[in-house]
Amino acid sequence: MTGRSNRASLNTATVKHATLDEAVEAAATAGFGAVGAWRDRVQEVGAAKAGRIIAEAGLRASSLCRGGFLTAADPAGVAAALDDNRRAIEETAAIGASELVFVVGGLPAMSAPGAGPRADATAADRDLVATRARVADRIADLVPFAQEHGVRIVLEALHPIFAADRAVISTLGQALDLAAPFPAAAVGVVVDTYHVWWDPALESSIQRAGAEGRIASYQVCDWILPLAADPLLSRGHVGDGYVDFATITRWVAAAGYTGDIETEIFNEEIWAAPAADTAATVLARYEEHVAPHL
């Protein structure tokens, strides 16, 4: 395994239909150095066993996905979100990871991700500014617990098309502003090419993130067209779309990031392929389009 391939991480969402054992085997066989685990696969076997599966394959757990969904306004919703995120923090520590990726959640007006608003949604449920303020409050609630467990909360900005239903943070700059009140070791950010490639302030935001020591993860996949009926499933293999990986990777490297690079793809066609084939393709694309610019 080359040193640069050792930084490559296969996110289990990229091989969605594989069990954790199968995903880890595919990653190890292909030559990855790490896997990024999703909670559904971890919970199927239990966090302690999941950690053993990853370690015994000679891999690292680069992150756990995902915590977040912090935008509830009612007391019961707030309590449920905090409880679930505390469990996610415990799971992150148990699998041997230090980074818990947060997708912070959409507007309370939504009925379900990818669907229209609730029939009874009010103006307050559409208040984007107030919703972001609640995210800040919930992060503050969770930071002490995360610090006790040696886990960093990692904020992920999602493309603006997901602002209504999945993440009211749309730019890396917004994520950094939310992280700013906390130590860099407690709250970081992820640079996900799919979500931030379009941002005209991306270079300066990456520079800021590096200067503040907040880049906790670099995730790669491509922006492909046409969009799927569900835009969430419109990610493609690196090199198949429009993202300038050479430039963004150079920016991330220049900012001082030396950690793992995860490939995370949501795409029905890619999910249908054998996990071993997908893992091999992912690593080959990483070697071609990302690694030379690190």
Contact by Cβ (8 Å): 21, 50: no
Q: Which amino acid, one-letter code, is at 104?
A: V
Contact by Cβ (8 Å): 173, 216: no
What is the number of other CB atoms lying within 10 angstroms of the CB of residue 129? 7
φ and ψ at residue 154, rounded to 5 degrees: -120, 110
Domain 3-293 fold: TIM Barrel (3.20.20)
Residue whose token pair is 């709250």: 187
Contact by Cβ (8 Å): 85, 141: no
Cα–Cα dist 11/13, whole Å: 5
For residue 80 the two structure tokens come to: 């449920």
Count, residues in the chain = 294
> In degrees, to the nearest 5, what angle opens at C-alpha 231 toward C-alphas 203 and 139?
60
Predicted local confidence at residue 5, as pLDDT: 81
Give mean pLDDT in consecutive 10-residue pieces for the chain, a chain of 294 residues.
77 98 98 98 98 98 97 97 98 98 97 95 97 98 98 98 98 98 98 98 98 98 96 97 98 98 98 98 98 97
Nearest residue to 6 via CA among 51, 49, 62: 62
Predicted local confidence at residue 4, as pLDDT: 59
Predicted local confidence at residue 235, as pLDDT: 97
φ and ψ at residue 7, rounded to 5 degrees: -80, -10
Cα–Cα dist 292/252, whole Å: 13
Cα–Cα dist 96/69, whole Å: 23
